[in-house]
Structure 1
Amino acid sequence: MLKSEILNAPLLGALAKLGHTDTVVIADCGLPLPAGPTVIDLALVQGLLSFEQVLDVLSRNLVIEASTLASEAKEGTVLQLCASYGLEPQFITHEQLKAELPNAKVIVRTGESTPFANVILHCGVAF
């Protein structure tokens, strides 16, 4: 048995396949999801699981070298949450962020309903 704090088997399996420069998206419950990337749906009801809960777990279990937010999130709590985890995101428009979704390896859908609560996490390496 694998020793990990992540209990969701599909999520753990998807994360184990990631490599340097791959991207993981934490998505709010309203973000349109493209065909292609692996989608791990953690949304239970509106607000659960939250953006913050998922970011907290992923930040402890991934090497993140960069992050990207929609410029529309510059004035909100999403930027503050990312900063609290040491992420200093680059910004693109929300439309550009949606255009990047098909390139993601994994999209984790949350129950978050805060506007623009989406982040692209760019994987790094541990060495």
Structure 2
Amino acid sequence: MKRGGILHPELSAHLARLGHTDTFVIGDVGLPVPPGVARVDLAVTLGVPGFAEVLDAILAEIEVEGAVIATEAAGSAAGALLDARVPGAETVPHEEFKQLTGQARFVVRTGETTPYANVIVRCGVPF
């Protein structure tokens, strides 16, 4: 058994397969997942697990090169959280954000109910 880190086997496998410039999404419970994009569904109930918990666990395991968030998140609780965790993220209108999720390797669905608690993460390399 792993001692720590991501214990969810499906999520761990998806993260391990990521390469430089690959993107994936961490989203709230209501973010639509486009057909053909893998979904790792962590939602248990509304609010569980929360977006921040999932984001922090994943960020501890990967190298981030960039991120994209919805412009509408600006000034919201989700926007403040995202600014602190992924500073310098590109912003796009929410409708465009949803279109960009179609290019992601997978989407992690949390139980989060805060509007615009979504991020597209682009992987970097640790050297």
**Normalised by the size of structure 2, how large is the TM-score?**
0.94
Aligned 8 A contact 1:14 1:38 in 2: no
1:122 alignment partner in structure 2:
122
Alignment of 1:1-127 (within 5 A): 4-127=4-127
Identical-pair percentage: 41
Q: Is the 8 A contact 1:46 1:113 kept in 2?
A: yes
Deviation at residue 14 of structure 1 after TM alignment: 0.5
Note the residue ranges of structure 1 that are not aligned, 5 or more in a row. Answer: none
Q: Do the aligned residues in 1 keep the contact of 2:6 with 2:58 (CA within 8 Å)?
A: no
Deviations 1:34-75 (A, max 9, x none): 122221000000000111011111111110111111000011
Cα offset, 1:2, TM superposition: 5.5
Does structure 1 conserve the Cα–Cα contact (< 8 Å) formed by 2:28 and 2:110? yes
RMSD: 1.3
CA shift digits 1:3-39 (9 cap, x unpaired): 6511100000000100011111011111111122221
Alpha-carbon distance in 1 for matches of 2:108, 2:81: 17
Q: Say whether the 8 Å CA contact 1:82–1:88 is kept in structure 2.
A: no
d(CA) in 2 for partners of 1:32, 1:85? 23
* TM-score, reference length from structure 1: 0.94
Q: How many residues align?
A: 127
Letter paired with 1:46: L
In structure 2, relative to structure 1, the CA distance for the partners of 1:7 and 1:36 (3 Å cut) is same
In the TM superposition, residue 93 of structure 1 has moved relative to its aligned partner by: 0.5
Partner AA of 1:25 in structure 2: V
